[in-house]
Amino acid sequence: MRTSRARSSDAPSRAGGVTLLELLVVMALMGLIAAMAVPLFGSGVSSTELKSSARQVAAGLRFARSEAVATRSETRMWLDLEKRAFRVDHDARQHNLPAGLEIKLFTAQNDIADEKVGSIRFFPDGGSNGGRVTLAAGERKFEIDVDWLTGRVAILD
């Protein structure tokens, strides 16, 4: 025969589960780990910023080409690799690119002012000296090509 024991109301009982204090300690540790991990993975230039910068440089090159044709004079787009900025002749504005971006310029030797500044030149007939601007952030990169004969600007992944 089975006997059942009734639980005494004055005996302490410990229910299964976690206490509020344990939960707070775990949440604090998770927050601390997340705060340390985010800077390791979040630094640099996002893919969206990289693509936007490539489009911005391509637009600057296209603008320089249209200025050359419209004014019937040679027009250059100057690229400052150290400051990560570019500007177009006949336009006072300087366009800045994100700080974490790596920029390379491939152009004609006589269009390199110094090791940090160079240009791509466009002629009144729409042609250019040709060249390539490479924008990179880590393993991701975009190349903006300028055709020497037609002056056509194209973005390559």
Using CA atoms, how far residue 124 sits from 45, 69, 110, 129, 148, in Å, is 36, 5, 18, 12, 13
Nearest to 89 by CA among 73, 109, 103, 105: 73
Give the CATH number of the domain where residue 99 resides: 3.55.40.10
Residues 136, 58, 52: CA angle, nearest 5 degrees: 55
Ranges 18-22, 24-28, 121-125, most confident: 121-125
Domain contains 12:
no
Domain contains 22:
no
Domain contains 40:
no
Domain contains 9:
no
Report the chain's C-alpha Rg in angstroms. Answer: 30
| pTM of the full structure | 0.72
How many domains would you assign to the chain?
Answer: 1
Domain contains 151:
yes
Task: Print the domain residue range for 134.
Answer: 47-156
Report residue 40's pLDDT band, with 50, 70 and 90 as the boundaries: low
Domain contains 119:
yes
